[in-house]
Chain A
Amino acid sequence: MNSTFSFTRLLQLLRKQWIENARFYILSALALIGLLGIVLVFWFNASENSFKEESLYIIFTFGIYIAGGVFASMSFSMLGEKEKGTYWLAIPASHFEKLLCILLYNVVFFTLVYCACFLLLKNVAFTYIQNLIATNPTKYHWRYMDWRENSNDFSVVFSYFMYAFFAVQSFYVLGSIYFVRFSFVLTTVVVAVLIGGFMWYAIYLSKNMLPNNYRWNGNHVSTHISDSGFQSSRYDLPGLLSQAFSFLIKFIWAPVFWIATWYRLREKQI
């Protein structure tokens, strides 16, 4: 018997998780649809007949962060209660399989269900708006989001928000195993402190480590000398290193938090 991973055991776990929590998942999905619907109604009324697809994607992003954080912070809530924690830890499956089951439901399936719910409502709203435009084209307007690279729309940063979402969501999963009570609130505080601290430190470093007139701009350092002689320089990391760095910044956080969660799960006592 493989003590770390068995596909059969994982499937049994996934089935068990569904059977025991189906009602909660279905009600949560319905609640999500209801809440998104309410937000879209507000958006419709606030748009004053000029509708932008961009604002829908902004709503999508805010919603997935909030709902994803709340859902992820409930991942290991059972470990906060002695009876439920005993029941769950005693299941004959490895910690890796149990973690994978939780991640599949609370990360993967949640994201898919959220996207499905949002797209459903977006299509309903879009169809309704198109009907309004068809009946009164001078009064109602619809503007598609500009997905081109050089656009000024939210589309330029949308992908970065989604990369960050998976990192933040994984951090909330980690938080749910560290904070058995008020997990969402405490993890949010920690996230705020960490991000705020990181930003302060980055600014402090760039101000104190770089000479005057030099500026750090994310993935390069630049300098600009004016008055007596216009001179502008830019210093970049080598291509491969820059790409590797960029890849790590985008994708490394979630796996790091998942591994930390796995270690914490192994140490959990009830």
Chain B
Amino acid sequence: MIDIPDLHFTYGSKKVFDGLSLSLQAGHIYGLLGKNGTGKSTLLRNIAGLLFPTHGQLAVLGHKPSKRQPAFLQDIFMVPEEFFLPNVSIKKFVLCNAPFYPAFDKGQFDTYLKEFDIPGSNTLQNMSYGQKKKVLISFALACNTKLLLMDEPTNGLDIMSKSQFRKIMAGVLDENKCIIISTHQVKDLESLIDRITIIDDGKILFDQTTEQITFKLSFKMSFDSNEVKHALYSEESLSGSAIVTENIEGGEGKLDLELLYKAVVLKGKEIHAVFE
């Protein structure tokens, strides 16, 4: 669905991607993680055709995103971190924009609005940031595009809304869709994401399915100093040491995305060795 063989991108003289290669398939929810400024949003914008590679090509749904052809744009929807909605009612917003997306489902949109507890008669200009975001997320999901890009989707959502978001997202994915979520709020989306991609220094640092991760690694709290000493990664906390070890016992444990991220960034060699 998305094929990025060798992506180079610079902002002026600052190199963001230096030969980044990535391949993403339908039927998955990808979590895109990385430090501030590593280019997560830039990657999403390259995929969406809002930015063009400095060098190299990318193919999304068989199209070249930079051409921004209607057939491509109607199969992709991006929910950016900073978004704009016009000063119209929800009804008029749907009237304006839905016709551009052939797979848009009004019934689904109304259902999502109801789940998010947004009255359909509200006007967008009278809504808070969080409410507007929920409207945009509902619209994005109801468009049923093959590719959905979300940049920090849970930013601005209250605790209940985050729970509603997870519930909705869990039911949205099918074998023809690909969802890419760029986020720092890993705890919000831990249970949703089925493939983790970590970007660092312009390249892919880590790219594995959650199934593989939980099969190969174990995440737990430990008070055993010997166990902590031999862990792949460990960090002290008030309730003991949070550690990442190789999963020797077999089976699949619980994934701690935050711990995994830190382990990959700080102890990358040791973590990669387990997967090799």
Contact = CB atoms under 8 A, between A and B. Distances in A.
A6 B73 CA distance: 15
B170 interface: no
A61 to B, nearest CB: 35
B146 to A, nearest CB: 13
B101 A92 contact: yes
B195 interface: no
A222 B190 CA distance: 84
Contacts of A23: 87
Contacts of B96: 15-16, 19-20
Interface SS of B by simple majority? loop
Contacts of B87: 20, 23
A209 interface: no
A269 interface: yes
Interface stretch (A77-85, A128-136, A234-242): A77-85
A94 interface: yes
A270 B88 contact: no
A203 B239 CA distance: 86
Interface residues of B, number: 29
B84 A1 contact: no
B14 to A, nearest CB: 15
A266 B69 CA distance: 10
A266 B101 CA distance: 21
Contact of B74 (A20, A87, A92): A92
Contacts of A90: 48, 50, 73, 77-78
Nearest to B70: A92
A93 interface: yes
A84 B100 CA distance: 17
A55 interface: no
A90 B74 CA distance: 9
Contacts of B56: none
Interface string A89-119: 1111111010000000000000000000000
Nearest to B89: A19
A3, A20, A91, A92, most chain B CB atoms within 10 A: A92
A270 B84 contact: no
Interface string A54-95: 000000000000000000000000000111101101111111
A220 interface: no
A159 interface: no
B70 A87 contact: no
B92 interface: yes
A3 B70 contact: yes
A81 B52 CA distance: 18
A91 B50 contact: no
Contacts of A12: 99-100
Nearest to A11: B99
Interface of A: 1, 3, 6, 9, 12, 15-16, 19-20, 23, 81-84, 86-87, 89-95, 97, 266, 269-270
Given A83-B84, A87-B83, A95-B68, 19 more contacts: A1-B71, A6-B70, A9-B70, A12-B99, A12-B100, A82-B82, A83-B80, A86-B84, A87-B84, A89-B49, A89-B50, A89-B68, A90-B50, A91-B73, A92-B73, A92-B100, A92-B101, A94-B70, A270-B45
